[in-house]
Structure 1
Amino acid sequence: MAAISASQVKELRERTGLGMMECKKALTETDGDIEQAIENLRKNSGLKAAKKAGRTAAEGVVVTRVADDASYGVMVEINSETDFVARDDNFKAFAEKITDAFFSARSEDVAAVMEGPLETAREQLVQKIGENIGVRRCVVVEAGEGQLVGEYVHGGRIGVLTVLKGGNPEVAKDVAMHVAAINPAVARPQDMPQAQLDAEKSIILAQPDMAGKPEQIAEKMVQGRLKKYLAENSLTEQPFVKNPDQTVGEFVKAAGGEVVGFTRFEVGEGIEKEEVDFAKEVMEQAKRS
């Protein structure tokens, strides 16, 4: 068996990004054949990725891209198991690479975009970092004629794409910042689903102060409260976060535009996180050692 030199280990580390001991082991198994070692490590990365695929990945980042002419934008959520890994430079570089691919493809089809080299890159990162990593979702937002797309990302965890008719990119970004902070349900009052209004009306009618009210008075009270509900939950009617003296709609109108819509992603929303008892986990590991 050929002796494994430090230069061979160094080369394999540079080409794979893996640790020294793992590279030395791979070279030993292939009798110093670097290309074979890389092939074996790639196969092994797929096995490791498959084993980790069942673990919950509810941390991560949201990344956005908007075309230079603001004609379209993409937003992607890439997940890891822990916030620590989400801050890792290798993970962040992977997230940027993935977003570039979706932006170039102008596609929301995660399976199609990830097929091939990007999936291989994901598996290799899983092997290197030791956590389940996944691309959860992507949205492509297109601007219509006379419209533009704006973007804002807060702390890598909340991302927003907005669409304005008229206005300018800076205004679109300010509106996106408001959406990130306040999280309105809809862009405009008329966008609120009827089912949601019906549900809110049922809640209002069930309030104690509605009991025994004449029908006409009760209906006036319901309409007044529904109007308040719409104002609180519609982007255009909310007090603008940077200047509460005007609504978002008024702010955009003053800049010569109007709100068309928005899309908001927050890392891990809708994912049921596994509760981990770290003390119990440490005790179980101690018993096995």
Structure 2
Amino acid sequence: MHNKISSENIKELRSKTGAGMTDCKKALESSNGDISIAIETLRKKGLTIADKKSTRLAAEGLIESYIHAGSRIGVLLEINCETDFVARQPEFQQLAKNIAMQIVACQSVKYVSRDDIPKEVVLYEKDLELQKEDLVNKPDEIKIKIAQGRVDKRLKELSLMEQDFIRESSITVEELIKQHISLLGENIKIRRFQKFLLGEGLDSKSNTFVDEISSMIQSK
């Protein structure tokens, strides 16, 4: 027997997921009023819908910029959707702002996804790990396995889509985008971004303030 689902429960679930009222009600009913289970149900449903839309052309969208306080680090981001109508929606525009902030907060991120990482970078990281002193005397099979695990970790650090979302660490950036695909009904793609760091490459400059920026953003 289902617990009675109140309008407050439905509104709370909707505010947390962005899903429609009817979908929220059904998810709460199927989870017997357990909001955490309902969130997971909607998330899985959203990801399924997002996967179906992932091959559709996304040629509209916007260019978003984010300059952190102090004007020492910033980013330009191109994020695409299918229509100009969705590009004007506040949910899409907020998504763009959040992604731009995410890029600034993630010092190691250089590529949109793992698929965008050049093969020569992957090979370089693999060679680097295989040559480390702690692996020299290990059997080849074990050495390769350990090195591959370290490389996978490094590639994850380089990929924006695999980062935990700074405002909700229980989901990744990829899952965040898929949630918005489900919410807005269109394919959404991060096409490219460029990070700008004041004095980057100059010996007289220190980049330690990036860590401070990251903690400040996450505390907002």
TM bracket (short chain): 0.5 to 0.7
Q: 1:65 to 1:31 in 2, by over 3 A?
A: closer
Q: 1:9 to 1:58 in 2, by over 3 A?
A: same
8 A contact 2:19–2:42 mirrored in 1: no
- Structure 1 residue 69 displacement after superposition: 6.0
Map residues 58-73 of structure 1 onto 2, 5 A cutoff. Answer: 58-66=59-67, 73=74
Output the amino acid matched with 2:57: T
Tell me what 1:109 maps to: 111
SS of the residue corresponding to residue 4 of structure 1 reads coil
Aligned mate of 2:174, from 83, 99, 119? 119
8 A contact 2:59–2:81 mirrored in 1: yes
Unaligned runs of 5+ in 1: 146-289
Tell me what 2:8 maps to: 7
CA distance in 2, matches of 1:14, 1:67: 27
TM-score normalized with structure 1 length: 0.46
Map residues 99-248 of structure 1 onto 2, 5 A cutoff. Answer: 99-106=100-107, 107-111=109-113, 112-115=159-162, 116=164, 117-141=172-196
Q: 1:69 to 1:38 in 2, by over 3 A?
A: closer
SS of the residue corresponding to residue 25 of structure 1 reads helix
TM-score normalized with structure 2 length: 0.60
Tell me what 1:20 maps to: 21
Q: Which runs of 4+ in 1 moved over 6 A?
A: none
8 A contact 2:73–2:104 mirrored in 1: no
- When the two chains are superposed, the root-mean-square deviation of aligned CA atoms in Å is 2.2
- Structure 1 residue 20 displacement after superposition: 0.9
* Cα deviation digits, residues 155-181 of structure 1 (max 9, x gap): xxxxxxxxxxxxxxxxxxxxxxxxxxx
* Cα deviation digits, residues 55-86 of structure 1 (max 9, x gap): 11111010123456655542110111111110
Identity %: 41
Tell me what 1:162 maps to: none
Output the amino acid matched with 1:103: V
SS of the residue corresponding to residue 78 of structure 1 reads strand
Is it true that 1:50 corresponds to 2:51 in the alignment? yes
Q: 1:64 to 1:27 in 2, by over 3 A?
A: same
* Alignment length (residue pairs): 146
* Cα deviation digits, residues 190-231 of structure 1 (max 9, x gap): xxxxxxxxxxxxxxxxxxxxxxxxxxxxxxxxxxxxxxxxxx
Tell me what 1:35 maps to: 36
8 A contact 1:108–1:137 mirrored in 2: no
8 A contact 2:28–2:35 mirrored in 1: yes
CA distance in 1, matches of 2:73, 2:25: 47
Is it true that 1:90 corresponds to 2:145 in the alignment? no
Unaligned runs of 5+ in 2: 114-158, 165-171, 203-220
CA distance in 2, matches of 1:31, 1:81: 36
Larger RCO (CA under 8 A, 6+ residues apart): 2
8 A contact 1:79–1:134 mirrored in 2: yes
- Structure 1 residue 39 displacement after superposition: 0.7
